[in-house]
Amino acid sequence: MFLSLFGAVESGLMYAIMALGVYLSFRILDFPDLTVDGSFVTGGAVAAVSIMNGISPIIATLLGAIAGFIAGVCTGLLHTKGKINPLLSGILMMIALYSINLRIMGSSQISLLQETTLESQIVNIWEKTGIDQVINGLFQSMGIERVPTTWGILFFMIIVIIVIKLLIDYYLKTEFGLALRATGDNQRMIRSFSANTDNLIIVGIGLANGLVALAGAIIAQSSGFADVGMGIGMIIIGLASVIIGEALFGVKTIARATLAVVFGAIVYRFVVTLALRSKFLETGDMKLITAVLVIIALITPKIIQSQREKKRRREKQAQLEAGEFRNA
pLDDT of residue 145: 76
Q: pLDDT by residue (tens digit) across 89-121?
A: 999 999 999 999 999 999 989 999 888 999 899
Report DSSP state, residue 295.
Answer: H
- How far apart (Å, rounded) are the C-alpha atoms in residues 263 and 260? 5
Q: Which are the contacts of 71, defined by CB distance < 8 A and separation ≥ 6?
A: 35, 38, 39, 42, 93, 97, 209, 213
Q: How many CB atoms lie within 10 A of CB 129?
A: 11
Assess whether pLDDT exceeds 70 at residue 17: yes
Going by C-alpha positions, the residue among 21, 10, 23 that lies closest to residue 43 is: 21
Assess whether pLDDT exceeds 80 at residue 286: no
Going by C-alpha positions, the residue among 259, 185, 206 that lies closest to residue 20 is: 259
pLDDT band at 324 (very low <50, low <70, confident <90, very high): low
pLDDT of residue 326: 66
Mean of per-residue pLDDT scores for the chain: 89
Phi/psi-derived region of residue 106, left when phi > 0, alpha when psi is between -120 and 50, beta in every other case:
left
pLDDT of residue 228: 92
- Contact 19/262 with Cβ under 8 angstroms? yes
Task: Report the half-sphere exposure of 230 (CA within 13 A, side-chain side).
Answer: 29
Q: How many CB atoms lie within 10 A of CB 319?
A: 10
pLDDT band at 135 (very low <50, low <70, confident <90, very high): confident
- How far apart (Å, rounded) are the C-alpha atoms in residues 152 and 132? 8
- How far apart (Å, rounded) are the C-alpha atoms in residues 239 and 257? 14
Phi/psi-derived region of residue 181, left when phi > 0, alpha when psi is between -120 and 50, beta in every other case:
alpha
Q: pLDDT by residue (tens digit) across 205-261?
A: 999 999 999 999 999 999 999 999 898 889 988 988 998 888 888 788 899 999 999
Assess whether pLDDT exceeds 80 at residue 184: yes
**Domain map of the chain by residue range?**
2-231
Assess whether pLDDT exceeds 80 at residue 51: yes
DSSP secondary structure string, 201-223? HHHHHHHHHHHHHHHHHHHHHHH
